[in-house]
């Protein structure tokens, strides 16, 4: 049986990879996917803590997180589609209207 | 024995997530995420959280990522130029952020890593056990999530209205 | 016992009138003049009451009331009054002659659309003048000194749309400002050495014992600096240039300010602060000579003037010179006596001139007037009395006061006596010239084109009544014993028969000469032929204005332009320019942080969060 620490370390690595993806991707779809990675990483640590502390709450939280993530992805993709219809590209570089 | 499986699934997970971020073809991105979710689910099973593991597969890999695939297929992604953009000039900065985060995480969880003898509890996340808790102590959040999903549907329908009603004239 | 409340009422009544007019009555011609008249009459009545209170007691009573105003460390300014016989006499003149002129103005300014503004300014002036009279310390005096200058500027330039009037107002103010610079320097100098154990003070009563402790040359310097203020306000040479142009203002203004009161403020100052001037013989001699020179020069210039008001202005200058000379010779009583009588007949003359101008529909050139005696009898008679008084004919008031001064000069300094006598002779001459040209002769019309003669009529009673009042005062002024009231502790002067006879002869000679030249009217002034080239010198007022103008144009303007260049090159481009440059660079740099890419923002955000975690976890 592995220790808690190794599970948490894996979770941390996945989270960092997700961070890199969110902040440096040109493609907005890739950004959304990386967002999913972030959520997955936190799910992993929740479950690990749940197992090692003997509390079901962690797993229940993961249940709800998955649900909410599903809803969020749906809306995010709808926005991406709309964006594509508007500016014919899904490159994040073209969303610069907050520029000086 | 279980350590071997742990390392196996952890490695697959990490490689798959790297592939999500680094792959060029958007299809590869999505499919890599599917692989990652699969390995994550296996890790959950290793932690005896059977119910959430299955839910992960059913909802995430089954519905959400299929949705992603639909969108990827829908949009014509060949038109995205692969030239270096203003963003990627500073791409290395993102990696630095990532690495610093990992090291920070390691520093933070050192105590946990070193405590090899942290006790393992005897709970098992089977459907019966989860169901017992879910429908008694956590009933209210359960019902509220259905409301949340309803709101999400409203949101998507209203967003998509513009697309549906204007039909072919949306092309600007 | 003097009632302090009466003094405060007399002090502030005109100010209340001014404020009422300014805030409520600026559109109401009728009420504004009545309010102003009410204000000054209140002060006059209070002054009369105070007068009776002072002189009921023997020795005459005195009152000082002082409220602390600005006090810190070693610096104290109070606000208060010092009421003594000198002050009450001056106050009576100011409010009495002032009341007459206010009433007169009601008639004179009735055609002017902005007369409410006029009465507001007049009331402000009355308040400021009363302030000078009553002040008991140097700073308060200076404040009201400046206020009087301001009122004078406002009133001279009352018809501001006339460029000459606006310029005249500015000229008066500038010259006054120049003199006030010296005045203030003197005040501060005096204050700084006024510590003899009780701290420094601006109060007159505190300064009296200080004088004997001051080093004589320093005292001379202080006296001369204070005299600078007198030179500006009372228009002594070389700061006399503003008074002539001040005639651009309405005639009541000329009467009140530039004949009876404001210009007399300098003389009053000399008398009030006589204890400062008296010990310094150098300063006294200089003062006396300045007065005499002014007197003579003004009299000479008056001979060549053709504007009725300007002739009277020069005569004012001349008489002021005499008063200053009297004070320089050590005779404050004589100076103040002449100030009082001069106020009577000069105001009378100016109001009479105003009546003439009004009757002639604002014509001011004496060569366009002739034989007005028959058309305007009251004006004519009163003007005649004023002329005789000014020339010093017995038994009118001017004779007595001028004689006192001449006697003083005769006893102390023969040179000055001769100058003063010549000036008096010339005074008689040019006043005769004025009178005969304007009022004498026949009134047959058609001698010249554009005559207004057939339309000329006497002025309304609001204007002639003050004339009569002032004429009576001019006539009997010598017999009511004014000097005893001003300086009760001085023995009354005895008449010096020699001087009296000489001055009477000189006056009569002057008048007769004028009659010879001007009794029979000719087309132009015969004096032009007589004086030849010298006439042009007189016409340009001995070139004083030209000298000043040259200085301002060539010296002052160039200095100002050079300063501007220095400021532009040094301050603007060097200091300010560099600051602008720096902020531009900073702005350009910071702009790159805002590039619109949300992901970049998120990255920076996370980076910051990481650093924050690291920092916070150091303590754990």
Write down the ipTM of this complex. Answer: 0.90
Is residue A90 over pLDDT 80? no
Q: What is the pLDDT of residue B19?
A: 93
Range C564-568 average pLDDT: 83
| Phi–psi pair at C82, nearest 5 degrees | -125, 110
| Phi–psi pair at C23, nearest 5 degrees | -90, -25
Alpha-carbon distance values, C334 to A69, C107, C398 (Å):
109, 35, 12
Q: Does B67 touch chain A (CB under 8 A)?
A: yes
Burial class of C365 by CB neighbour count within 10 A (0 to 12, 13 to 18, 19+): exposed
Which range, B89-98, C130-139, C328-337, is most confident? Answer: C130-139
From B13, B80, B123, residue closest to A54, measured CB to CB: B123
Q: Which residues of A touch C587 (CB under 8 A)?
A: none
Range C251-265 average pLDDT: 82
Q: What is the DSSP letter of C67?
A: E
- Report residue C452's pLDDT band, with 50, 70 and 90 as the boundaries: low
Q: Which residues of A touch B74 (CB under 8 A)?
A: 81
> Are C600 and B108 within 8 A, CB to CB?
no
State which residue of chain C sits closest to A94, comparing Cα positions.
Answer: C597
> Are A100 and C595 within 8 A, CB to CB?
yes
Query: Who's near C76: CB < 8 A, 6+ residues apart?
Result: C68, C70, C199, C200, C201, C202
Is residue C539 over pLDDT 80? no
Q: Which residues of A touch B145 (CB under 8 A)?
A: 64, 67-68
Question: Whole-number mean pLDDT of chain C?
Answer: 83
Is residue C216 over pLDDT 50? yes
> Are B105 and A9 within 8 A, CB to CB?
yes
Pairing assessment for the beta strands C63-72 and C75-83 based on DSSP bridges: antiparallel
Q: What is the pLDDT of residue C114?
A: 84
Flag the least confident range among B26-40, C428-442, C522-536: C522-536
> Are B121 and A51 within 8 A, CB to CB?
yes
Q: Which of C586, C588, C595, C597 to mutate to test the interface with A (most CBs of A within 10 A)?
A: C597
Evaluate whether A21 touches A34 at the Cβ level (below 8 Å): yes
Is residue C582 over pLDDT 60? yes
- Report residue B77's pLDDT band, with 50, 70 and 90 as the boundaries: low
Q: What is the pLDDT of residue C41?
A: 93
Is residue C412 over pLDDT 80? yes
Q: Does A74 touch chain C (CB under 8 A)?
A: no
- Report residue C129's pLDDT band, with 50, 70 and 90 as the boundaries: very high
Q: Is CATH 1.10.287.3510 what the domain over A4-94 is classified as, yes or no?
A: yes
> Are B101 and C610 within 8 A, CB to CB?
yes
Q: What is the DSSP letter of C63?
A: E
- Report residue B113's pLDDT band, with 50, 70 and 90 as the boundaries: low
Q: What is the pLDDT of residue C78?
A: 85
Report, in this order, helix, strand and coil percent for chain A, each rounded to 5. 80, 0, 15
pLDDT digits (tens, 9 = 90+) for B7-64: 999 999 999 999 999 888 888 899 999 999 999 999 999 888 999 999 999 999 999 9
Q: What is the DSSP letter of A93?
A: G
From A25, A31, A100, residue closest to C591, measured CB to CB: A100
Q: What is the pLDDT of residue B78?
A: 60
Q: Does B5 touch chain A (CB under 8 A)?
A: no
Range A76-87 average pLDDT: 86
Q: Which residues of C touch B86 (CB under 8 A)?
A: 595, 597
pTM exceeds cut of 0.80: no
Flag the least confident range among A67-76, C207-216, C489-498, C610-619: C489-498
Is residue C445 over pLDDT 50? no
CA distance B87 to chain A (A): 7
> Are B108 and C617 within 8 A, CB to CB?
yes
> Are C598 and A98 within 8 A, CB to CB?
yes
Q: Which residues of A touch B75 (CB under 8 A)?
A: 80-81, 84, 90
Two structure tokens written together for C521: 């009217």
pLDDT digits (tens, 9 = 90+) for A28-55: 889 999 999 999 999 999 999 888 888 8
Q: What is the pLDDT of residue C144?
A: 93
Evaluate whether C270 touches C230 at the Cβ level (below 8 Å): yes
Q: What is the pLDDT of residue C133?
A: 92
| Phi–psi pair at A27, nearest 5 degrees | -85, 125
Q: What is the pLDDT of residue B84?
A: 44
Q: Please tell me whether residue B102 adopts helix, strand or coil conformation.
A: helix
Is residue B172 over pLDDT 50? no
Burial class of C548 by CB neighbour count within 10 A (0 to 12, 13 to 18, 19+): middle
- Give the CA-trace dihedral at C192, C197, C202, C204, to 10 degrees: -130
Q: What is the pLDDT of residue B167?
A: 52
Q: What is the pLDDT of residue A42?
A: 95
Q: Which residues of A touch B21 (CB under 8 A)?
A: 17-18, 20-21, 25, 30, 34, 37
State which residue of chain C sits closest to A25, comparing Cα positions.
Answer: C599
Could you report how far apart the first and last alpha carbons of chain B are, in Å?
Answer: 59
Question: Whole-number mean pLDDT of chain B?
Answer: 82
Evaluate whether C307 touches C431 at the Cβ level (below 8 Å): no
Is residue B106 over pLDDT 90? no
Evaluate whether B98 touches A16 at the Cβ level (below 8 Å): yes
From C597, C599, C613, residue closest to B104, measured CB to CB: C613
- Report residue B83's pLDDT band, with 50, 70 and 90 as the boundaries: very low
Query: Who's near C38: CB < 8 A, 6+ residues apart?
Result: C17
> Are A23 and C595 within 8 A, CB to CB?
no
Is residue C390 over pLDDT 70? yes
Range C448-454 average pLDDT: 50
pLDDT digits (tens, 9 = 90+) for C53-102: 888 877 777 888 888 888 887 788 888 888 888 888 889 889 988 898 89
- Report residue C449's pLDDT band, with 50, 70 and 90 as the boundaries: very low
Say how far apart CA C7 and CA C64 lie, in whole Å: 10
Could you report how far apart the first and last alpha carbons of chain A are, in Å?
Answer: 55
DSSP per-residue string spanning C383-426: HHHHHHHHHT-TTSHHHHHHHHHHHHHHHH-HHHHHHHHHHHHH
> Are B48 and A51 within 8 A, CB to CB?
yes
Say how far apart CA A71 and CA B141 lie, in whole Å: 15
Is residue C366 over pLDDT 80? no
Q: What is the pLDDT of residue B16?
A: 95
Evaluate whether C282 touches C227 at the Cβ level (below 8 Å): no
In chain C, how long is the greatest CA-to-CA distance?
Answer: 119
> Over pLDDT 90: what percentage of chain C?
11
Query: Who's near A84: CB < 8 A, 6+ residues apart?
Result: A90, B75
Residue whose C-alpha is closest to residue C313's, from C298, C323, C293, C296: C298
> Over pLDDT 90: what percentage of chain B?
35
- Report residue C447's pLDDT band, with 50, 70 and 90 as the boundaries: very low
Say how far apart CA A49 and CA A4 lie, in whole Å: 7
Q: Which residue has the higher pLDDT, C494 or C240?
A: C240
Q: What is the DSSP letter of B60?
A: I
> Are A24 and C602 within 8 A, CB to CB?
no
Q: E strand or H helix at C255, and its extent?
A: helix C251-255
Flag the least confident range among C374-378, C430-434, C441-445: C441-445
DSSP per-residue string spanning C162-215: SHHHHHHHHHHHHHHHHHHHHHHHHHHHHHHT--SSS----BHHHHGGGGGGS-
Range C131-146 average pLDDT: 91
Q: What is the pLDDT of residue A43?
A: 96
Q: How many CB pairs under 8 A join A and C?
A: 33
> Are C594 and A92 within 8 A, CB to CB?
no
Evaluate whether C339 touches C298 at the Cβ level (below 8 Å): no
Is residue A1 over pLDDT 60? no
CA distance A84 to chain B (A): 8
State which residue of chain A sits closest to C604, comparing Cα positions.
Answer: A23
Q: Which residue has the higher pLDDT, B79 or C149?
A: C149
Evaluate whether C18 touches C127 at the Cβ level (below 8 Å): yes
pLDDT digits (tens, 9 = 90+) for C11-50: 999 999 999 888 888 888 888 888 999 999 999 999 999 8
Say how far apart CA C588 and CA C580 lie, in whole Å: 12
CA distance C114 to chain A (A): 58
Evaluate whether B135 touches B142 at the Cβ level (below 8 Å): yes
Q: What is the pLDDT of residue B170?
A: 46
Packing angle of the helix pair C397-412, C377-391 (nearest 10 deg):
20
Q: What is the pLDDT of residue C201?
A: 78
Q: C75 has which bridge partners?
A: C72
Say how far apart CA C410 and CA C392 lie, in whole Å: 16
């Amino acid at each position: 049986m592995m220790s808690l620490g190794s599970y948490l370390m894996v979770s941390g690595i996945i989270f960092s990879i997700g961070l890199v993806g969110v902040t440096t991707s040109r493609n907005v779809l890739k950004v959304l996917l990386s967002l999913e990675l972030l959520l997955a990483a936190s799910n992993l640590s929740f479950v690990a803590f749940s197992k090692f502390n003997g509390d079901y709450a962690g797993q229940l939280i993961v249940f709800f997180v998955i649900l909410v993530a599903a809803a969020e992805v749906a809306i995010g993709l709808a926005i991406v589609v709309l964006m594509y219809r508007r500016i014919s590209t899904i490159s994040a570089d073209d969303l610069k209207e907050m520029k000086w | 024995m279980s350590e071997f499986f742990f390392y196996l699934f952890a490695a697959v997970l990490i490689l798959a997530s790297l592939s999500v971020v680094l792959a060029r073809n958007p299809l590869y991105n999505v499919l890599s995420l599917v692989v990652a979710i699969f390995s994550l689910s296996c890790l959950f099973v290793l932690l005896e959280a059977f119910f959430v593991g299955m839910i992960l597969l059913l909802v995430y890999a089954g519905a959400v990522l299929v949705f992603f695939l639909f969108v990827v297929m829908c949009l014509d992604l060949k038109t995205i130029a692969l030239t270096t953009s203003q963003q990627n000039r500073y791409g290395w900065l993102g990696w630095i952020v990532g690495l610093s985060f990992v090291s920070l995480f390691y520093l933070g969880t050192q105590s946990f890593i070193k405590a090899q003898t942290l006790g393992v509890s005897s709970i098992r996340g089977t459907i019966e056990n989860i169901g017992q808790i879910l429908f008694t102590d956590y009933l209210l959040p359960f019902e509220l999530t259905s409301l949340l999903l309803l709101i999400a549907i409203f949101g998507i329908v209203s967003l998509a209205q513009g697309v549906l009603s204007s039909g072919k004239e949306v092309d600007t | 016992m003097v009632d302090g409340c009466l003094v405060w009422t007399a002090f502030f009544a005109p100010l209340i009138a001014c404020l009422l007019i300014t805030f409520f009555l600026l559109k109401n011609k009728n009420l504004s003049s009545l309010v102003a008249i009410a204000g000054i009459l209140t002060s006059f009545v209070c002054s009369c009451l105070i007068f009776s209170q002072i002189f009921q007691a023997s020795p005459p009573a005195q009152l000082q009331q002082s409220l602390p105003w600005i006090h810190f460390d070693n610096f104290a300014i109070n606000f208060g009054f010092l009421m003594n016989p000198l002050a009450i006499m001056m106050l009576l003149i100011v409010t009495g002659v002032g009341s007459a002129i206010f009433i007169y103005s009601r008639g004179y300014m009735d055609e002017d659309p902005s007369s409410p503004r006029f009465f507001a300014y007049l009331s402000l002036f009355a308040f400021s003048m009363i302030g000078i009279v009553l002040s008991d310390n140097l700073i308060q005096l200076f404040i009201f000194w400046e206020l009087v200058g301001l009122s004078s500027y406002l009133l001279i330039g009352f018809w501001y749309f006339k460029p000459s009037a606006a310029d005249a107002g500015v000229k008066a103010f500038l010259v006054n400002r120049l003199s006030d610079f010296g005045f203030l320097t003197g005040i501060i100098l005096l204050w700084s050495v006024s510590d003899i154990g009780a701290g420094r003070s601006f109060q007159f009563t505190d300064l009296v014992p200080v004088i004997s402790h001051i080093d004589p040359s320093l005292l001379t310097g202080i006296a001369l600096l204070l005299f600078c203020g007198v030179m500006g306000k009372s228009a002594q040479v070389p700061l006399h240039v503003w008074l002539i142009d001040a005639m651009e203002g309405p005639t009541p203004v000329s009467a009140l300010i530039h004949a009876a009161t404001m210009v007399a403020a300098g003389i009053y100052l000399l008398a009030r602060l006589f204890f400062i001037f008296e010990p310094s013989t150098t300063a006294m001699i200089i003062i006396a000579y300045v007065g005499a020179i002014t007197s003579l020069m003004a009299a000479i210039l008056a001979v060549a003037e053709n504007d009725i008001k300007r002739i009277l202005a020069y005569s004012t200058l001349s008489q002021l010179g005499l008063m200053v000379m009297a004070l320089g010779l050590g005779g404050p009583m004589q100076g103040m006596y002449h100030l009082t009588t001069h106020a009577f007949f000069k105001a009378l003359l100016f109001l009479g001139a105003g009546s003439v101008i009004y009757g002639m529909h604002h014509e001011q050139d004496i060569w366009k007037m002739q034989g007005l005696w028959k058309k305007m009898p009251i004006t004519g008679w009163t003007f005649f009395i004023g002329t005789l008084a000014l020339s010093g004919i017995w038994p009118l008031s001017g004779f007595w006061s001028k004689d006192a001064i001449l006697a003083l000069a005769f006893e102390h300094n023969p040179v000055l006596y001769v100058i003063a006598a010549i000036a008096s002779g010339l005074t008689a001459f040019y006043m005769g010239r004025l009178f005969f040209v304007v009022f004498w002769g026949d009134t047959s019309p058609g001698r010249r084109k554009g005559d207004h003669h057939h339309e000329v009529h006497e002025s309304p009673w609001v204007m002639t009544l003050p004339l009569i009042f002032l004429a009576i005062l001019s006539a009997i002024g010598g017999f009511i014993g004014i000097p005893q009231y001003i300086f009760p502790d001085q023995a009354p002067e005895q008449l010096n028969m020699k001087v009296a006879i000489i001055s009477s002869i000189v006056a009569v000679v002057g008048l007769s000469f004028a009659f010879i030249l001007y009794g029979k009217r000719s087309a132009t002034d015969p004096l032009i032929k007589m004086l030849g080239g010298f006439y042009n010198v007189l016409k340009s007022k001995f070139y004083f204005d030209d000298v000043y103008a040259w200085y301002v144009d060539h010296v002052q303007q160039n200095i100002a332009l050079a300063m501007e260049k220095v400021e532009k090159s040094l301050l603007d481009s060097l200091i300010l320019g560099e600051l602008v440059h720096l902020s531009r660079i900073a702005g350009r740099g910071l702009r790159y942080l805002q590039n619109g890419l949300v992901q970049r923002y998120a990255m920076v955000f996370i980076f910051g969060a990481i650093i924050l975690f690291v920092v916070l976890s150091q303590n754990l």
